[in-house]
Amino acid sequence: MDEQARRELRLASAYGLSLGALVRIQGIRPEMLFGLMIVSDLCRGTGAKALITSVVDGLHMINSLHYAGSAVDFILSLVEDREDWVAELSKRLGRDFDVIDEGTHVHVEYQPRVGASR
Ligand SMILES: [Zn+2]
């Protein structure tokens, strides 16, 4: 984590979900916004803090859903059992979202599965 991220994390400490200063959100999909409401709710319920570090900005794989406004990265802190928290988020978001713990951050993407039943 660099100094900028550290500073933002300190500033964000009063909130459950917050947005990094340099993050660009232009073109974020409404479905992803709904997903972030669930992230926010889980933060408030558990005391965890999530700082969004990337939406449509940043460097990602060429076909990344970030560029379509369908993916968000956030740094997760103040969480007791990270694995449990991520699993709970995945459960609450349901089958149309993927939640991946990348270690340094959590990646959430909206990727509806047409006709799939899970
Ligand atoms: Zn990502």
Q: What is the pLDDT of residues 59-95, one digit of tens each?
A: 888 899 999 999 999 999 989 999 999 999 999 999 9
The pLDDT value recorded for residue 12 is 60
Ligand 1 geometric centre to CA of 74 (Å): 8
Q: Which distant-in-sequence residues (6+ apart) come within 8 Å of 80 by Cβ?
A: 46
Q: Is the pLDDT of residue 118 over 70?
A: no
Ligand 1 geometric centre to CA of 73 (Å): 5
Owning domain of residue 83: 3-110
Tens-place pLDDT, residues 102-112: 999 999 999 99
Which residue, among 24, 82, 28, has the nearest Cα to 50 in the 3D structure? 82
In a domain, 50, yes or no: yes
**For residues 5-20, average pLDDT:** 74
Q: What's the predicted TM-score (pTM) here?
A: 0.85
In a domain, 94, yes or no: yes
The CATH number covering residue 26 comes to: 3.30.1380
The pLDDT value recorded for residue 13 is 61
In a domain, 69, yes or no: yes
The tokens of 99 are what?
A: 């939640």
Q: Which residues pair with 51 in a beta bridge?
A: 18, 75
The tokens of 83 are what?
A: 């694995």
The environment of the single-atom ion ligand 1, i.e. residues with CB closer than 5 A, is: 73, 107
